[in-house]
Amino acid sequence: MIPPSDISPQDQARILSEALPHMQRYDEETIVIKYGGHAMGEEHLARQFASDIVLLEQTAINPVVVHGGGPQIATMLQRLGIKSEFAAGLRITDAAAIEIVEMVLAGSINKQIVGYINAAGGKAVGLCGKDGNMVTASKATRVTVDSGSNIEKVIDLGFVGEPDRVDLTLLNQLIGHELIPVLAPLASSVDGQTYNVNADTFAGAVAGALKAKRLLLLTDVPGVLDKSKKLIPELSIKDARKLIADGTISGGMIPKVETCIYSLEAGVEGVVILDGKTPHAVLLELFTNQGTGTLMHK
């Protein structure tokens, strides 16, 4: 990125002029940004991300940040000697682990992001899905098939949840009032049990309920890749399902794309999977003609 002092006044004016139509497109619109645990690893990038979020709010866009924290949770569990296993792409979260997950997600990570946004001139509010009954969840289960016997097996993921309902009462008090919600993906069941929710799934549920203009899933890959490992810049729901069926979309990208499909069907206008480690990735996607990552639409 060229330092501002090295940009001529003419170039500054040209950049602003080219960005203006994009700013007008998103004026007063809600953008949900899922900020992945891998994307927030380096402090200078985290502070840059925070500055970009403040810029969105100051240009009359309503950003809502949902963050993950998988690497940070793993580090803390290891430090405390608590074993952690994965099944079907999700962390098995037992009674000991859920306390650590809540401490890391709703505590240290959430407040760090809030601090960075506030230091950049914003007014961030750190919350999780439990606050104001924002997100109600139920216990998640996954089914795997044994390759040898072809017998299905139900996996108990412990305190891992799936969103059932999103109550917008609290978010509606914040959005559009110069406040930036920063949400940790934790939710309660109807009887008050805490559940760890996959951050992509959580962001998709919130974006769908808000009928967001865009959902941006910041991750550690450029987007959806074809079989030649080249970026696919644009996908329809129909195209995405074909690529899942033929194996082009596989592994951890499948749940991300399924979240995209869910969000689009729930009313989000467009969803983008993009590399959160790219400097100013959010601004490049929203304010330039080229964009970045893979845009999915109906």
Which whole number is the average pLDDT over 75-88? 82
Report yes or no on 2 lying in a domain: no
Which residue range is the domain that position 94 belongs to? 28-297
Confidence of residue 251 (pLDDT cuts 50, 70, 90): confident
Lookup: tokens for 95: 């009674």
Report yes or no on 5 lying in a domain: no
Report yes or no on 1 lying in a domain: no
Q: Is the pTM of this model over 0.75?
A: yes
Report yes or no on 188 lying in a domain: yes
Task: Compute and round to an integer the Cα radius of gyration of the chain.
Answer: 19
What one-letter code names the amino acid at 217?
L
Confidence of residue 1 (pLDDT cuts 50, 70, 90): very low
Q: What is the pLDDT of residues 145-173, one digit of tens each?
A: 666 666 676 777 888 999 999 999 999 99
Confidence of residue 208 (pLDDT cuts 50, 70, 90): very high
Among 9-23, 64-78, 180-194, 223-237, which stretch is predicted with the lowest mean pLDDT?
9-23
User: Any idea what the CATH number is for the domain that residue 138 is in?
Assistant: 3.40.1160.10
Report yes or no on 13 lying in a domain: no
Query: What's the rounded Cα separation, in Å, for the pair 24 and 60?
Result: 9
Report yes or no on 80 lying in a domain: yes
**3-class secondary structure, 240:** helix
Number of domains in the chain: 1
Report yes or no on 221 lying in a domain: yes
Identify the pLDDT of residue 149.
Answer: 67
Identify the pLDDT of residue 6.
Answer: 67
Query: What's the rounded Cα separation, in Å, for the pair 70 and 1?
Result: 29
pLDDT exceeding 70 applies to what percent of the chain?
A: 92
Three-state secondary structure readout of 173-235: HHCCCCCEEEEECEEECCCCCEEEECHHHHHHHHHHHHCCCEEEEEECCCCCECCCCCECCEE
Report yes or no on 22 lying in a domain: no
Query: Per-residue pLDDT for 112 more than 50?
Result: yes
Identify the pLDDT of residue 24.
Answer: 87
